[in-house]
Every structure is written in C-alpha cells, then in structure tokens.
Structure 1
C-alpha cells in the first residue's frame, strides 16, 4: 500500500512559447578548482613513488616472514603469518588499484555533453531563465527527467530539512522526493513546506533498497539520484554527473562521501578512514570498471536498475550488491573524486559500531554467498579481483585480534613467533619496511599523521568478528541508520570485548614487566603488549567520556532523574 502526498508538487506551467535563444553553462569556477585538486591528488607522481617503495617493502617483509631460518614456535608463528598474510595481500592489491588511479573518466563525449547540458533550440521559458532549478537538462538533443530521492528513517528533522532544502535547490530541472521510512507526519509537513514530494510506505521490507524500489514504482524519471538524509548536496550535483550518461552503457555515477563534522575522535577516525578510499582507491577502480555505489551521492540510470530487477534488497549492503549485479549485466560505472554532497560521519562509538557492522556484514555476504572469483560470475578478471578485495577488506580488521594474542604467548609460555637469534633490530628493519611505508602512504594521502585511524583500526576487531559470524550463519542484523535520532546510548553496550581484552592485556603487561624486565628479547614482547594496552586504554577513555555525556543527556531529559 502507498501513501503518496504530492500537494507540494508544482502545477503544470503553460508559460509563454519558447524563444529562440541558446543557453550554455560555463560551470562554477570553485567547482572546477575542486575537480582539479581531486584529480591532482590522485595523479601525484610522489604518491606513485611512495606506492612503489611500499610495494617493495611489503615484498621484502613477506620474504623475511617466510624464511624457514626465521621461523619460531609454531602457534605464534601461524598467528602472525595468518594476520600478516591478510594485511600484506590486501595492501598489495590496494596499492595496485591506487597505481591505476590516473584514469580520468571525463572524456571528450562527457565534456561535449556538459557544454550542451542546457543548450538546445528548445530553450527555457522566460520565467525560468533566472531559476537554475528549472533549467531543462538535455543529453544531446534529448531532454532527460531526473528524480532526486532523499531517503529518511527516523533522522532528526533539522538534519532532513537541510538536505531537502539543498536538494530542491540543485541546478537543473528535477523532482525532489522525500522517501520516509520513519513514517513521520512532521517530515511529511516539512516536505510540503520545502516544495518536495513525499512518499511513505505503509509496509516495510528491504530497508533502504526497498524504500527506493517503492519510490521507483511512482517516480518515472530517466535518471534518479539518491541522497541519505544527512548528506547535503551542492548545487552542481546534476551538472557534474548527468553528462556521463551520454554513454548509453553507464549505469551510475558515484561521488565520494565527504564529512563535515570531524570534531570528535570517532568522527575523525571514521572520516579519515574513508578519505583514502574515496580519494585514491575508488578512482583506481574506474580503470577496471569496478567502482561501486556507496548508497548516497549517486545518480542511477533508471533503465539499468530495471534491467536487474531493482535495487538489491537481500543485504544490508544493498549498494555494493546492486553494483555487482549491474557489472555482471555488462553495465558501466563511473566514479568522480569530487565532493558533491557533505554529510555526517558517526560521532559516537555506538553509531560507528552499527555502521561498520552493517558494512562488514554486507562485504562478508558477498564473499560467502556470491564469491566474485567463481567462474559463474559474469565479470572480467579485473572486476573479480576488485570485488574480491571489497568482500575481504574487513578481514584486515580481524587481523589485529590475532596479533594481540602473540605477546601474551611469549610472556606466559615463552613461545616466540620468530627464532631467538633474530635480533630486534633485524625484525624492526623489515617490520618498518612494510608498516613504516604504510604509515608514510597514510601521511601523504591524509596530509598528516592521523592517529585516530590507527586507534580505530586496532580496536574494531569485535565488530568484524561479529559481522563475519552473522554472514557465516545467515543471522539477520537489525537495520540501523547511522544518523538516526534517538536517546543517548552508553558505549559500554558495545565495547564489552574491548574492555575484557584491556583487563587481560593490562595484567599481562604487569606480569611481563615484573617477570622478564631484564631480558632484551622479551622486552620487545612486553613493549608490544604495553603498546596494545595503551591503545585499548585510550579507546576506553573515549568510551568513558561518551558514557558520562550520555548520562548527562538523560538527566537533562528527565530533570532530577537518576541515570
């Protein structure tokens, strides 16, 4: 059943007859500068040199680990080898992708289509000439209709209002739709006030993908854009993306998720984690026709989505699954490293955990249920490898758990991963040859050392273990919107494993310092263990601060109450 409110839809405009006047658009100079900066970052010769050195460092570290003369006790050695193999293989594949990022998808056909996006003998009505939101979009001589979907599910109304207001103001004639799975009368009234159409499903299912599919049964545009409720689009969203669809085989055009709330440790860590992917990895995927949709800030061709039966509703990662099905059907994807919408990164541990659990579960589902390397997949070799990297990416988040166990094995049982005659200096040389250069890459790509990224990467393993288990057992995870409004939640509801691990490592560090403080080799394990303890301790201090803030918020809601 459908509840459709189109009271805010503008009535048909008869208008005066067309006037023979040509219209062109030169583009926003600031937008052009942003495009140049994004492309320069991806094509930097310095970055290419660092990538090549890092590749050599990874290979040298792998040779060192595999040398039988360096092998220590079997249990810690196997743990190290499994963890480091995951990290090395994924790092090499990621660097290979980044080295391919010099490809610019804006070809001659794109530039020609963009120049004539508003240029046609059938020109604008006089009453629309000064309103860019009413300029008819054209590809060649053919007009195209565009729907802009703002998907909501319980987010704060002020957040939704910012996005809807900006979506209505996007340049190029389009229809803005608010797809409300939160079933809020306040959101309905907001859409009417801001000049957007409002759609509410009376039956659920399929989460966000089901919401979009339901809207596609009503909206009939040639193209449709998807925006999460907290991603505020820039006016040039359609101007920069629509010209790519001059190629009939382009299914969607994706732009990055850029965050504007990098104020807390969690939001900075989550945002910086994504920055490398969007600035360097996704551009490289263009070379292999393997850039995938990330769920927001994306424009789709309606006929391409119809060709695969709609957005994929069988996973919490409907975006990657939809991309995979489109590529299997021979459609092309385009990624442009240009910010066209700015949103919010998760600001709390709970929000970050829910986001990562959803994303990781979807990735592991692809690996276990739809292995890209299978011969049954209608993909090119390059696409198979890229989707394999996507589906195994979160294994790198489980690897730190294996490495956490190694120092206690040596402190308590005397089991070492490497032979006793391997000096700490030799180990450090090869270790830094890999990890040091990986940090150098992060330093170069992010502009400075972002310790928040390393902290979150080291402590997020419980999330990814749970995600892998969910995918392996088919356990359904409740859908959770990252920016959903609601009461404060204590982070200690989701960090029990990290808390227990911290207590164990703290005790182990005390035992190591007391029992083996004079042994140089064991000191290396003690130092390793102490470092892990400090990292987990720093994360738990953040959790304590969030817990106190949540208690304060609850007390403010219920004056005089006891949290």
Structure 2
C-alpha cells in the first residue's frame, strides 16, 4: 500500500509542478517570480540548516530553471521561414538543453552526498593479503623509487604486503626493437629497475608485448600475484603511510564490495593554476569531483575506479576477466562492468596519496583528450543506458560522467553565437530586453547560486567555464575522431615531472589569440552598431553583454596558455617534522617545514651554523620517526643559503644528494608518514568564494591576462629575430659545430628552434 501511495503522491506533485511551470504569466510577473526566488534562496542559504533547507533551496532553484527552459522552448526560436536563423537557433537551444540536463543530473546525484565514518582499526590477523601494483612506462628512477618506498612503508603487516613494479618500458618487445638505440635504452631500463626493486625489496615484472596498454599491464600483474586485494598506484602517486588502514577494512564489511576509491591530490599545479598563480589559494579543478561528486555517486553505489589510489577485490576482477581494455579509459570501463554485475563500491573521502599532474599546457590537453576519447568510447561501445544490471541512478551517473565530455560543443557554441547577430544580423534568439532580464538574467543568477551553494568551497565561480573553454578548443577534434572510428584511439602516457626554465607562450596558444581577437572585434562592432546604426534594437545590448562575458573567458584563457617559468622540478609538500642536521662535525636540531623529492626546507631551532659553514656544505639529515621506525638511515644533503620569510624567520634549503635505494625509505618517512598533511593543505585553500568576489577575480583575469600574453608574444618574436645564424666554414670542426648547437639550445623555446634549425642547415 505504501509504495502505491508514494507513487500516487509523486504523480500528483509532478502534475501540479508541470501545470505551474507552464502557466502563462506576464513578463513583469516572471521578473517578480525570479527575484522572489533569489531572495528566498538567499534567506535559506544564510539561515537554513539541515536536509530540509538544502532540498528546499535546490527545489526552488530547479523550478526557476525549468521556467526558463519552458520559455526558451516555446517562445524564443526564430520562425521556420527564417531557415538560417531557425537552424542556428535550434543548435543554440540544443546546447542549452545539454547544459540543463547536466545540471539536473548533478542536482540529483549531489543532492545529499554521503559522508562515511572512519573505520576502526582491524587486528592484523584478519587483514587480507594485498598486492600493490605500480604500472610504469617511462618515468624517472627517482619517481619510481619514491613511490615504491612509500608503498612498502605503508602501515600493514609485512608478510601480507607485496609491492610490484609493472614495467611496460622494458618489455621484450621494446628490448628487441628494430631501432638499436631504443632497444638498448629498454634493456638498460629493465636492468636498472630490476636492480632497484631487488635492493628495495619490491618485485619487478614485465611482459612480452605492450598489448592493451595499462589494462594489459595490470592484467599481467594479476596473473603473477595472489593477493586477495589489489591496490593500484600510478607511478607518480605515492601513498601516505595510513593508506591501507583507512581503506582495506571496507572489504570485510561488504562481501560484494569490488572497489574502494580515494581522492587524487597533486603536489604541483596544473598549467592553468600555475599560469594564473592560484595553486596555493584556490581549490584545484579536480576537487569538485573528488570532494562532492564522488561522495554523491557513493550514495547511489555509483563511485567508480579512477585508475589510481584505489583498492579492488581480486575475485571481483576475476569474475569479469580482469581489467577491461576495450577502451583507453580502463578504469571507468572496469567499474561499469563490475557495477552491472552486481558488485558494490565505496568512496573514502580522505586524501591518502600525493601525485603529479601535467606541467605544460600541451601535456594537459593530451591527458584530457585521452579522458574525453575514452569516455566517449565507453558511451558508444558499452552504453550505460542499455547495460543490464544497473539501476536507474547508476545509469544516470555513468551517463553524466560520459556525456560531460561533450562540453566542447556547447562551450564553443556559446562563445561564437553572439557574433552571428553582431556581424550578420542573424537572429537566433527571439527576445526583447524586458524578457531577457525577466527570464535569462534571473536564470543565470539562479544557476550561479545553485552551483555556488553545492560547490562553493571547492570550485570558484566561472572556473568551470574557463577550464571547459581552454579544453574545448582542442577536444572537439578528439571527440570527432572517436565518432568516426570508436576503436581507433590508443593510450598515450601523460608527460609529467617537467620543468619550465623561462616564460613563454604555449605551442597551442595561437587559436586563443585568434578567438580573443574575433571577440574584441565583435565588441567594437556591437558598440558601433548600437550607437550609430539606425533601427538597432535594445537586443544589441543583450548580445553585446553576452559577447563581453565571452571576452572575459577568452582573456583569462590567454593567461592560461602564457606559460610562466617553473625552474623547480620538484613540487613541495608542507610538513611539520623534527630532526637534526650533522654538518662539519656539528649537530644542529632542525624543524623540517617542507619537503620534495629533491630537497627540503628547515629552520634551525636552537643554534645556527655560521655563514662560512652554510653554502654548499655536505651533511646528513636525521628525522625523528613517526610511529614505527622503518630504517635508521639518514639523508645526504647539501646545505644552501637561507632566506628570510615574512615572519622574520630564516629558512634554509637542503638539497638531497644522489640517494641510494635504502635512503628513499627515509624520504618516504619524511614525506608520507603524516597522513594529515594533505588534508591540512586542502583545507587551507577551501574558503568559500562568493559569486561577487569570484566574478571580480574572473573579470580581473579577463582584462589583465591578455596583456601578459601579448608581452610573452613580443618577447618571443624579438628573440626569434635576434637568433644568430652561424656559418659553417671548412675550418670549423664537427665537434665545434656540435658545441655551438648545444649552446643554441640553451635559449628560449622560440629562439631554440630558430637557432638550431639555422645551425643544422648550415652544417648540412
């Protein structure tokens, strides 16, 4: 009886809502309705608490969005007789419908995100055996050594923990490459990593051929190992000591659990954060997904495998034939197969790994292109709407995660649509100024309020629009390639661990200059037409404002592709550790305040070496261990000069000398013993950003960043003109030419190409 009553109640409520939504009212009444909704939502936001207030806020906002949607569908399309206007207007309407669909699904998924309680510590004798997989391809030895040491240092019974380095850079296929240089490099890599694993106590494993990319590598690991639980860490994702204690206990509490996923947190900024200088004060782009969306999915048994920082049950993987490798996003594909087979998942909202992300805009776009192509592949080849075994919200969740990557189409549509009216007087949106204020402006404000209410502490206003625009310019082509040939895309490893020695424009910057110039021209044309052209209506004001907003996005994007220099190759983690530094026969107590794979910052707590004893002196750093002592080794360091910080305290830099494999365990203890280090860092930049302050910051970028980008362009053009052409004479030896080429390669990126090309041409 109760299910029937509940169904009837929902049907009645839905009928009333539809009747209310479709009720024709005057423009003034719509404006009053929209403004009233804004006032009531503001009051709920300020004074309301609890689930009822949250649901009321979301329901009221959704109602205004639906009113706008009904108006757009019924009143704003150009007449069919205007073929061009109707076609372009329909295309714009479809783009808006897509955005509303994504918004509605996100409201459903994130209406009440799950917050799991921390598990009690289980006794060692009941813990499962664990195999840790670290898939590798072309990473540097020091990155791999750091991750291996951190994985082996996790708080877990040693007899139940095995760490495997799965090396796809030293396969038989690569060692027997037809190119002798590549073959020798692969053989040398295999020998080096075998020795590294032997010295560190890890297991080295490679395979015959590089088939099915990362999924094939992981499946090869499954064949060689026997642990009940498999943990996957990317090669540059080092775990904190408490990783397993915070996560593995979920498997004993749910026999159908296949996955425990944890957040990905990065020690270095992505290119947009670096170039706009927001890393230490603004939440990263991925924090909205990991801190809100994954918790929302978790409520509906929909959180999915993200490729790393995750634990998976072996029997679950065996039931579906291992890691799925049909697409290039094996993680989400594997989760989809297991969810549809009746297995469950858990998301633990505590950052327990520290990783690296792409430093350059080129590598950033390469990574996102792979994600977009892989998700589109899954949608085509394993459509979640048709997948048996999923419940309705799971289908919506997977559909949302896949269709999200269609954003290049609407984003570029919104960017270019105003220009059709400004330049060609093509009306693709039928409205007057009063209707635009009553419907469109209130919809925009409500939409911003909904997003800021749900995500304000982890996503600043307008940041989503910026990230979508800078990616959309290039991801459109990637999506088209999948549509043409769904099985064609191949897995490409993302380049990380790079450094940028100078300020320069990204190689991919030119489309952003072209689009920004086009929008500036559109703004000038709109102004001229409104002021001087007879008969131009107030609609030009609306379209001009829209174009101006697009100019702000495009201006901020120019800042995103104007690459700032980043000479420090090793990103630092803020820590709070005590130790001692032995230098020149003297021991000094120190407080370690930050650390990276290349060095650390210390403050002398009692006495300080003399200036004569500081610069470039070799010493040994000892650390007071946290918890179980892993090793009594110390770290070889070189003491650098001190710098006075804002608190009038001198911080000294210590540069690590070449570490042997055992010393990486000391580094792992220093960096990853304190599992609260990352939560403290994330909390420090998660202050809520209001709509007004976020809009101000965004406008500031939109105005100032184009000037910085232009300055970089002028510098590169100047450097190119000043590139020196070196004439090769008969008296010039080959060795001298080689040295000159190397000297030319030390210039700026644009000068590099010009100098080297000129030298090599003359030498030929």
Normalising by structure 2, we get a TM-score of 0.59
8 Å CA contact 1:348, 1:546 repeated in 2: no
How far apart in 2 are the matches of 1:479 and 1:98?
Answer: 31
Q: Name the SS of the counterpart of 1:176 in structure 2.
A: strand
| Structure 1 residue 395 corresponds to structure 2 residue 391 | no
Aligned to 2:204: 198
Q: Deviation at 1:147?
A: 0.8
The CA distance in 2 between the partners of 1:266 and 1:442, in whole Å, is 22
Residue number in structure 2 paired with 1:319: 331
1:342 match:
354
| Structure-1 residue corresponding to 2:148 | 164
Q: Secondary structure at the match of 2:743?
A: coil
- Provide the residue aligned with 2:397 in structure 1: 386
Q: CA deviation at 1:396?
A: 2.8
> Aligned residue for 2:134?
150
Given candidates 399, 404, 408, the residue that maps to 2:419 is 408
Counterparts of 2:505 and 2:135, CA distance in 1: 27
Q: Does the C-alpha gap of structure 1 residues 316 and 263 become closer, same or farther in structure 2, counting only changes over 3 Å?
A: closer
Q: 2:742 aligns with which of 553, 558, 562?
A: 558
Distance 1:412-1:427 versus aligned 2 partners, 3 A rule: farther
| Alignment CA distance shift 1:254-1:45 (3 Å) | farther
Q: Equivalents in 2 of 1:99, 1:557: separation in Å?
A: 60
Structure-to-structure mapping, 1:356-435, within 5 angstroms: 356-374=368-386, 377-423=388-434, 424-435=436-447
Distance 1:280-1:541 versus aligned 2 partners, 3 A rule: closer
Partners of 1:398 and 1:464 within 8 A in 2: no
Q: 2:555 aligns with which of 537, 540, 545?
A: 537
SS of match in other structure, 1:346:
coil
Corresponding residue of 1:177: 164
Tell me the CA shift for residue 79 of structure 1: 2.8
Per mean C-alpha deviation after superposition, the further-off stretch among 80-89 and 54-63 is 54-63
Q: Give the distance between the partners of 2:509 and 2:742, measured in 1 at CA.
A: 26
Deviation of the 1:516 alpha carbon? 3.2
Residue 351 (str. 1) matches residue 363 (str. 2): yes
* Residues in 2 aligned to 1:271 and 1:157: alpha-carbon distance in whole angstroms: 30
Relative to structure 2, which stretch is displaced further, 524-533 or 274-283?
524-533
1:249 aligns with 2:256: yes
Tell me: CA distance 1:352–1:389, structure 2 relative to 1, closer, same or farther (3 Å).
Answer: same
Contact 1:290/1:383 (CA < 8 Å) preserved in 2?
A: yes
Contact 2:519/2:551, CA 8 A, preserved across alignment: yes
Work out whether 1:471 is the aligned partner of 2:478. no
Q: Which of 535, 541, 558 pairs up with 1:523? A: 541
Output aligned runs, 1:52-451, within 5 Å: 52-68=59-75, 73-102=85-114, 104=116, 111=119, 114-118=120-124, 120=125, 138-139=126-127, 144-173=128-157, 174-183=161-170, 184-185=189-190, 186-246=192-252, 247-262=254-269, 264-266=271-273, 272-374=284-386, 377-423=388-434, 424-441=436-453, 444-446=456-458, 449=460
Preserved CA contact (<8 Å) 2:376 2:482: yes
**By how many angstroms is 1:311 displaced?**
0.4
Query: Is contact 1:149–1:227 with CA below 8 Å preserved after alignment?
Result: yes
- Local SS of the residue matching 2:62: helix
Distance 1:483 1:454 in 2: 25
Q: What CA RMSD, in Å, does the superposition of the two structures yield over aligned residues?
A: 3.2
SS at match of 1:326: helix
Q: Deviations over 1:344-401 (max 9, x none)?
A: 2323211221111111111111222221112x52322222222111221112343111
215-224 or 259-268, which deviates more: 259-268
If asked which structure has higher relative contact order (CA below 8 Å, sep 6+), I would say 1
Contact 1:166-1:234 at 8 Å conserved across structures: yes
Structure 2 contact 215–323 (Cα < 8 Å) conserved: yes
Counterpart of 1:5 in structure 2 is none
Tell me, in whole angstroms, the C-alpha distance in 1 between the residues paired with 2:200 and 2:149.
6
Q: Note if contact 1:222-1:302 (Cα within 8 Å) is conserved in structure 2.
A: yes
Equivalent pair of 1:79/1:403 in contact (CA under 8 Å): no
Q: What is the TM-score with the length of structure 1 in the denominator?
A: 0.78
| Equivalent position of 1:456 in the other structure | 467
Matched position secondary structure for 1:311: coil
**Displacement after TM superposition at 1:305 (Å):** 0.5
Q: Which residue in 1 is equivalent to 2:697? A: none
Q: Does 1:505 align with 2:519?
A: yes
- Which stretch of structure 1 is more off in the superposition, 256-265 or 399-408? 256-265
Please give the alpha-carbon distance, in whole angstroms, between the structure 2 residues aligned to 1:496 and 1:378. 47
Q: Is the 8 A contact 1:181 1:200 kept in 2?
A: yes
- Larger of the two Rg values belongs to structure: 2
Seen in structure 2, the aligned counterparts of structure 1 residues 514 and 101 have a Cα distance that, compared at 3 Å, is same
Unaligned runs of 5+ in 2: 1-49, 80-84, 171-188, 566-711, 720-738, 746-751, 754-764
